[in-house]
Amino acid sequence: MKKLLRDRKFWFLVFSLFCFIAIGVCVIVDWAINNNFTWAVYPLISIVFFWLVMMPFFWLRYSLFWQVVVLSVLILPYLYLLDRCLPHAGWFQSIALPVALFGVTAVLLTYMIIRFTKINIWYRLSIASLLLLVLINPLLQLYINNSMGTELEMLDMIANIFGGVVTAGVFSIVGYASSTRKLNRKLAKKT
């Protein structure tokens, strides 16, 4: 039993089965209610996209890197398919393309910070959360609101920035405590 729980093929089959069941349920419910495929197309496309993004996790050694690569490559076709399936199409070029490219750049930058810097992992997570939640998220909110012609919700933006600062602060505190504990252990071993 323990070997089975560590087997990636087993977990891939379980994951694939859940995805297949979710697609089946959406298709059956949509067909039963509407006698046609209306809304089931959106979860179907999204579940297939999720399944493809998760594939490296099950099969490749450096799964996080490959998940980032697959996500970066597949996000534009995914958004394009959704744009074509929605009744109010036309948002792909004006909104989705710039936001996706900006988001992919942010994700790749965050991955590089977490993967390649040599500082404490908690400090890396703190920098990444500041980058994503305090800098990137408000910029994306501004761009999307300008593109759609909607008014910016300042309270929402302030809450997001505050949440990002608090998250970064918690990561930094945990990082400091972790560094201090390691330093104290080293000092205790020397004495």
DSSP per residue, 80-139: HHHHHHSSS--HIIIIIHHHHHHHHHHHHHHHHHHHH--S-HHHHHHHHHIIIIIIIHHH
Integer Cα distance of 117 and 175 in angstroms: 14
List the chain domain ranges: 1-89, 91-191
pLDDT digits (tens, 9 = 90+) for 78-132: 988 888 887 776 788 888 888 888 888 888 888 888 888 888 888 888 988 888 8
pTM surpassing 0.75?
Answer: no
